[in-house]
Amino acid sequence: MAKQLWKPGNMLYPLPVVMVTVADRDGKANILTVAWAGTVCTNPPMVSISVRPGRYSYPILKETGEFVINLSTRDLVYAVDYCGVRSGRDVDKFERLHLTKAAPSRVSAPLIGESPVNIECKVRERKPLGSHDLFLAEVMAVHADERYMDENHRFCLELARPIVYSHGVYYECGEALGSFGYSVRRRNS
């Protein structure tokens, strides 16, 4: 199998693509699209996002230390893209995209009502790393849309049709190929 050697770069794809909401001290909210987000720790529950210092939301994040990660779906893909290419300096993205500002429970940044999962976060550490700063944050609350609960009260994100991002393209997640531990479970013969 032939492979090309490329210069070092970020090739960890596909990535979850999320809309992050923030609010400044006066309550003015903004949405930014982030593809560099991830789980950091289980106990305490922690996540991270990476944001360029030149982004409109960066000083808000730095000052307030609060944000909400809003998971994205097929129905939200237009908003995901728009919030990644338009600046909150120029437009109220909630208003322009007709998105619902839902009330948070533990932070000041609003939830996006149309998102199936909203994760309220408080920054514990900011690490300048180069082109982006990494914001390590503790999860303070999680909101899950009841529309995606099955009869056993299990959350079924696949029903919301989540999306991922790879090399400038948004993709809908496909069929389930297995579940955690399936490779070592006993099979009935």
Instruction: Report yes or no: 160 and 149 within 8 Å, Cβ to Cβ.
Output: no
Separation CA 74–CA 90 (nearest Å): 26
Task: State the fold for domain 15-172.
Answer: Pnp Oxidase; Chain A (2.30.110)
Instruction: Report yes or no: 97 and 72 within 8 Å, Cβ to Cβ.
Output: no
Query: Taking the mean position of all CA atoms in its chain, how far away is CA 98?
Result: 19
Q: Please name every residue paired with 22 in a beta bridge, in sequence order, or none if there are none.
A: 30
pLDDT tens-digit profile of 17-69? 999 999 999 999 999 999 999 999 999 999 999 999 999 999 999 999 999 99
Report CA-CA distances (Å) from 68 to 29, 139, 152, 186, 188: 11, 9, 27, 40, 44
pLDDT band at 9 (very low <50, low <70, confident <90, very high): confident
Instruction: Report yes or no: 118 and 110 within 8 Å, Cβ to Cβ.
Output: no
Non-local CB neighbours of 133 within 8 Å, separated by 6+ positions? 50, 51, 52, 53, 58, 126, 127
Question: Is 11 or 160 the better-scoring residue by pLDDT?
Answer: 160
For tokens 């429970």, the residue is 105
pLDDT tens-digit profile of 121-179? 999 999 999 999 999 999 999 999 999 999 999 999 999 999 999 999 999 998 888 88
pTM, whole model, 2 decimals? Answer: 0.94
